[in-house]
Amino acid sequence: MKFDQRADSNPIDRLKVVGRAQDRIDGPLKVTGRAKYAYERHEAVPGQLYGYILGSGIACGRITDMALDDARRASGVVDVISTLDYEPVPLSDYNTANLFGGDEIQHYHQAIALVVAETFEQARAAAHLIRVDYNRTEGQFDLAAAAPSAPLYTNGEDDTGENRYGDFEGAYAASPVQLDAHYSTPDETHAMMEPHTTLAHWEGDTVTLWTSNQMIAWSKAALAKSLQMPAENIRLDSPFLGGGFGAKLFVRADAIVAALAAKKVGRPVKVTFQRPLVANNTTHRPATIQHIRLGADRDGRLLAIGHESISGDLPGGSPETAVNQTESFYAAENRLTAMRLAVLNLPEGNAMRAPGEAPGLMALEVAMDEMAEKLGMDPVDFRILNDTQVDPMKPDREYSERHMIECLRRGAREFGWDKRHTEPASQVEGDWLVGMGMAGGFRNNMLMKSGARVRLGPDGVVTVETDMTDIGTGSYTIIAQTAAEMMGLPLDRVKVELGDSDYPASAGSGGQWGAANSTAGTYAACVKLREQVAQKFGLDPAEADFTDGQVRQGKQSFALQGAAEDGELVAEDAIEYGDFGDKYLQSTFAGHFVQVSVNRFTGVTRIDRMLAVCDAGRILNPKSARSQVIGAMTMGAGAALTEELAVDTRFGLFINHDLASYEVPVHADIPHQEVIFLDEVDSASTPMKAKGVGELGLCGVGAAIANAIYNATGIRVRDYPLTLDKYLDRLPEVA
């Protein structure tokens, strides 16, 4: 189905099932332990062996020798595969770091061997018997040290590395009010509950991988390249994931070594990363150093916006795109954005929930608050004044829908912003300094081709098949809602099968694009199924009404399941956008409001209240959407206050590579969270008129917390996370 114009009225607009708060249909499976995660696929194939990965003990250099004999002789060991026995596997465009093979070490904890044994404990014990000799070489592990010489990042010959509109330098220099500030965000790890896991099994020349992966179609193609075999001989199955946040967008070493080992030993092999390898072997959110310059007239209108960011990655990698939102978020006739990329020998930097906007807004939205203070303006009013309804870099291109002002006004009203003390450090309640902060949220909406297959059985049950994944986000439910709405059925008459590469390729889960696109693909397939049903009954598909298990037109009425009485009906289609997606700037928006209390004596910060007002098109399932947003807000609290991968700049590793020392928020850290969704649809997005919301909930939260801490204490901290050591000695004196 081609989507090349704004959506007209369609069956989804009835909102009998879509748009209503629905319990997740996969919930009972999860709470009873019947959901099938990759490491628990005990029933999938008999004779499974356990693999344990040995990670490199250095960050840069080469392996000169690896002694495997003791490990091979250990109890229960079936075999050991060594990186020295393989050439480096070919990488897809989605990977930077070597996944396995060869003697070169590119980063700490790179997979260099896999012990395969009858039990996990035997494999783990034997792995510690491997002795490795290295030739260590010097590496660069310190972003601050590498930043001064980091070149502009360019993507192609025509890219100068700078994105400009107007005369930034001239307008900034002439601005009556100026802000020039630097900010930093640290390396972060995804810290999802389920590690990367794969069970691999060969049958002749075909291999099946039961794995934990967000993007099935991408990863099938990547594995075909890495294993140097036809894609049609590879099957991936990933019906449930225990979190991903971007860490499982791409193939990682677990899939490669499991497949190689299973082929060598002739038995199924399952591999899971131990927690330190999740931090050091997979991907992480890279640290940034950001420079923001704002120029405004004395009335508060921005005249110039400049945002430059430096991040690091392995050779051939890409930057953290922290300037993305600044190109489009606020009006100003003169603009400059640029990114610099330093070569670092740390583990690969790549996508983590809301890549770009999450760390970028942690800086931009603090800068906006600082500028509002310079101007003597309320932070909400300052942002409203600088709203734009067009793409500031391409003024001829309008936003498809933008209700940012309503997010801010509604949020301020509901949160009680008018009760905020405008003078920092002026609200004291017992031992606590109390403050309020806010920030804008922004995340672009991405349109991607997504397919599905739907089946109508003689029993009247509709089954949806697509390789879309559910990473804990509620994909099963919103896809079922879509099919139920389209076919006029209750939710319990729809069955959804996900995560199998034998099904039509979907958009996959990532980048906040999954929900809107995968449901649109399901919509397209259901349109075809409706046509088949109508044809069976001799009805006009455009006029037939599918309601309550019946298909009606005029005085005619038929039971839906009757269309399949002679055999199952099957329809398959995909949503495709062509150039239409570029006609408008499509984005999502939020207003984030936070109240904190900071202890006057100890400096301990306590979050008291959080509110997000979101503008993200039609909300398909308010219940699961709220869950997505409050989860993102919680992640934002961690980014603001506690989360930081500590880099050992001598040896090039993340020291706190476990959940004991990498501190994520716990229930006691998170107060009541409120989420409000604006009742606005976007007919330029998809036939569902929906956009993503899961990452929007994170974008801006960190800055709102930082701004609240400033309002409470009068101390401006520009380096995240806002830990005690950065402000304790500057707290207001206690009388």
Residues 614 and 717 in one domain: yes
> If pLDDT is split at 50, 70 and 90, which confidence band does 118 have?
very high
- Give the Cα separation of 136 and 390 in Å (integer): 53
Residues 528 and 505 in one domain: yes
Residues 592 and 632 in one domain: yes
- Give the Cα separation of 659 and 542 in Å (integer): 55
Residues 594 and 551 in one domain: no
Q: 216-227 and 253-265 helices cross at what angle (nearest 10)?
A: 50
Whether 21 is in a domain gets the answer yes
Tally the C-alpha atoms within 13 A of residue 700's C-alpha that lie toward its C-beta.
Answer: 31
Q: Which residues contact 696 (CB under 8 A, 6 or more apart)?
A: 354, 441, 442, 443, 512, 588, 589, 590, 614, 616, 629, 632
β strands within 76-186, DSSP E: 77-82, 104-105, 111-117, 131-136, 162-165, 177-185
pLDDT at 191: 97
Of 546, 451, 446, 414, residue with least CA distance to 493: 546
Residues 409 and 470 in one domain: no
- The last residue of one of the domains, among 553, 576, 599, is 576
Asked if pLDDT for residue 580 goes beyond 90, the answer is no
- Residues recognised as catalytic: 695
Whether 263 is in a domain gets the answer no
The continuous run of DSSP H or E covering 531 comes out as: helix 514-537
Task: Say which residue the tokens 């990367």 belong to.
Answer: 196
**C-alpha torsion sign, points 717, 723, 726, 730:** positive
Give the pLDDT confidence of 499-511 residue by residue, as tens digits.
Answer: 999 999 999 999 9
Q: Report the helix count and the strand count for the chain, using DSSP H and E.
A: 15, 31
Q: Which domain holds residue 461?
A: 11-35+448-576
From residue 96, give the alpha-carbon distance in Å to each of 101, 202, 258, 314.
14, 27, 20, 7
580 or 615: which leads in pLDDT: 615
> If pLDDT is split at 50, 70 and 90, which confidence band does 158 have?
confident
Give the pLDDT confidence of 26-63 residue by residue, as tens digits.
Answer: 999 999 999 999 999 999 999 999 999 999 999 999 99
Whether 349 is in a domain gets the answer no
pLDDT at 341: 98
Residues 498 and 546 in one domain: yes
Residues 606 and 475 in one domain: no
- Could you give the number of structural domains in the chain? 2
Average confidence score pLDDT of the chain: 97
> If pLDDT is split at 50, 70 and 90, which confidence band does 679 have?
confident
Whether 661 is in a domain gets the answer yes
Whether 549 is in a domain gets the answer yes
Q: Which residues of 607-645 are buried (b: 16+ CB within 10 A; e: fewer)?
A: bebbbbbbbbbbbbbeebbbbbbbbbbbbbbbbbbbbbb
DSSP state, residue 225: H
Give the pLDDT confidence of 431-460 residue by residue, as tens digits.
Answer: 999 999 999 999 999 999 999 999 999 999
Of 316, 270, 308, residue with least CA distance to 288: 308
- What CATH number is associated with residue 457? 3.30.365.10
Residues 430 and 471 in one domain: no
Give the pLDDT confidence of 548-573 residue by residue, as tens digits.
Answer: 999 999 999 999 999 999 999 999 99
> If pLDDT is split at 50, 70 and 90, which confidence band does 735 have?
low
Residues 519 and 439 in one domain: no
Length reported for the chain: 735
**What is the average per-residue pLDDT within 523-539?**
98
Q: Which residues contact 162 (CB under 8 A, 6 or more apart)?
A: 152, 336, 337, 338
Whether 187 is in a domain gets the answer no
Residues 724 and 657 in one domain: yes
Tokens of 621: 């399932």
DSSP state, residue 421: -
Whether 712 is in a domain gets the answer yes
3-class DSSP assignment, residue 420: coil
Asked if pLDDT for residue 466 goes beyond 80, the answer is yes
CB 693 within 8 A of CB 441: no
pLDDT at 710: 98
**What is the average per-residue pLDDT within 200-212?**
98
Residues 633 and 712 in one domain: yes
Task: Say which residue the tokens 């984005």 belong to.
Answer: 587
State residue 335 phi and psi, 5-degree precision: -145, 150
Whether 408 is in a domain gets the answer yes
- The last residue of one of the domains, among 576, 606, 626, is 576
- The last residue of one of the domains, among 548, 576, 604, is 576
Residues 628 and 531 in one domain: no
